[in-house]
A and B are shown apart, each in its own frame.
Chain A
Amino acid sequence: MATTIAFDTTKSPIQMIVTTDQHVGQLKGTVTVGSDTTPYQQNFTRNPVVINDSSGATWKLVSDDMGFPASKVVYSL
């Protein structure tokens, strides 16, 4: 499974759902996304996804599902 993006334009504001099998997270100052397979732990920081919107809009975290191996993260404009 790769990372996918879906947009829900029926929501207001629009929502973006990112689904990934990458390790969504960041350990204390050390980027561990990618090959890291460390299970979820207390110091695991959420909202690590890097988003670049060509319009300059900012996406905000709505909710996440940190289940392994896949995670779903929902953002809204």
Chain B
Amino acid sequence: MVDVTVKVGADTVTASYGVRPSGSGIVPYETLPYKGSVSATANQVPSISQVSFLPGVFEFVDFADARSNNYGFGAYFQPQVGGLRASGVDQTIFQMRPNSSTRASEIPAQSTGATNNLSLIRIGGSGSIVRSPILSDFTLLGTEQGHLYNGLLLYYATNAQIMRVKIKHIPGNASSQPGETFGGNDYRSTGSKYSFMEFDGDGVGASGFGGNLGSNLLITDSVSKNNPYSAGFTCNTYTDITYRRVVAIDNGKMGFNFERVGGAVLLDKCTMLRNKTYHINIASDTVSARYSIVDPVFDGAKLNVKVSGFAGGAMKQDINAIDLIINGVERPDLLNLIRG
């Protein structure tokens, strides 16, 4: 906690603030007996408890949790862990000890199209178990491991809340798997809410954020940047997505990517600058969504939206269901639909 004293006229008032919450249901990590790793220590909490962390660097060694062939995590927080509540971005840092991975030989070749199933952190549920974790106020930092991997995996969650988290330097090298890794991956989850997030590819990332097989995603006041190999934000097989005041900048492909996305998609006051291909890419061979793009900030004369099929299948997206609205007025004249 930090004390603040405020003097106004004759009044002097002191109060305290701290981003690390405390109270019922929140267990300070430092009070738990150390069990050899961050995850093993945290996983001792009674279900369902959040774990809070002081400022400092919390390291994992290797992708050793839940290990099987081409699968594993630096820290697998089991479903009894209801959240990770730390002390601030750049104050509490989770990372893998540099060059501690033994998994380089298990990374699939790009030609296989298989998935890279290594992530630094996994939290949420487990198949039939669905959880609602809360994550806040930390940095997840990629370190050199000699191979590609993913950052944060939110797994089988409902109404998860992730706020004020920076995910930085997660390495990728392609816009399709396995080289398309994710800084943050929202997997088979519904109702996830992300706010004040920073997905910083730091010149090595593929996609800053990726959502798969989920619904009702809300991301606000967040940025994805410096991912040279793929999109700022991408979702595949997802329904109902809202991005509000979200920035995609300096990414190697598009700012926002939608693959097989249905339902309603709203991009409200989003910024798309210096992304290398399109501002927005929509690719679907299965469903069509209603897209509302409201008051965007973009470079160039028009908003470039690529619309195509997916995976060799015919395009199912209705191009008449893509609306650009600026200051309350539909502006099809500023919408450049590029048929693929």
Contact = CB atoms under 8 A, between A and B. Distances in A.
A21 B4 CA distance: 19
B9 A20 contact: yes
Nearest to A23: B9
A61 interface: no
Interface residues of A, number: 30
A49 B6 contact: yes
B17 A16 contact: yes
Given A55-B2, A57-B2, A14 B8 contact: no
Given A7-B17, A12-B163, A53 B4 contact: yes
B6 A12 contact: no
A35 interface: yes
B16 to A, nearest CB: 8
Contacts of A45: none
Nearest to A71: B8
Nearest to B18: A9
A22 B163 contact: no
Interface string B129-150: 0000000000000000000000
A2 B17 contact: no
Nearest to B197: A12
The DSSP consensus for interface residues of chain A is: loop
B141 to A, nearest CB: 19
B10 to A, nearest CB: 5
Contacts, number: 72
B163 A14 contact: no
A66 interface: no
A73 to B, nearest CB: 8
Interface string B10-36: 110101010100000000000000000
Of the candidates A12, A14, A24, A55, the one having the most CB atoms from chain B within 10 angstroms of its own CB is A12
A9 B17 contact: yes
B68 interface: no
Interface in A34-49: 34-36, 48-49
B19 A14 contact: yes
A7 B164 CA distance: 16
B183 to A, nearest CB: 18
Given A5-B15, A7-B15, A16-B17, A50 B10 contact: no
B3 interface: yes
Interface residues of B, number: 19
Contacts of A30: none
A54 B221 CA distance: 29
A33 B5 CA distance: 17
Contact of A16 (B4, B19, B221): B4
B6 A18 contact: yes
A18 B8 contact: yes
A49 B7 CA distance: 6
A20 to B, nearest CB: 5
B196 interface: yes
Contacts of A53: 2-4
Contacts of A59: 4
A32 B222 CA distance: 42
Contact of B2 (A3, A5, A24, A54): A54
Given A12-B221, A14-B17, A20-B11, A3 B6 contact: yes
A33 B2 contact: no
Contacts of B5: 51-52
Contacts of A22: 8-11
B4 A50 contact: no
Interface of A: 2-7, 9-10, 12, 14, 16, 18, 20, 22-24, 33-36, 48-55, 57, 59
Given A16-B4, A35-B10, A55-B2, 13 more contacts: A3-B11, A12-B195, A14-B19, A16-B17, A18-B8, A22-B8, A22-B9, A23-B9, A33-B10, A50-B6, A50-B8, A53-B2, A57-B2
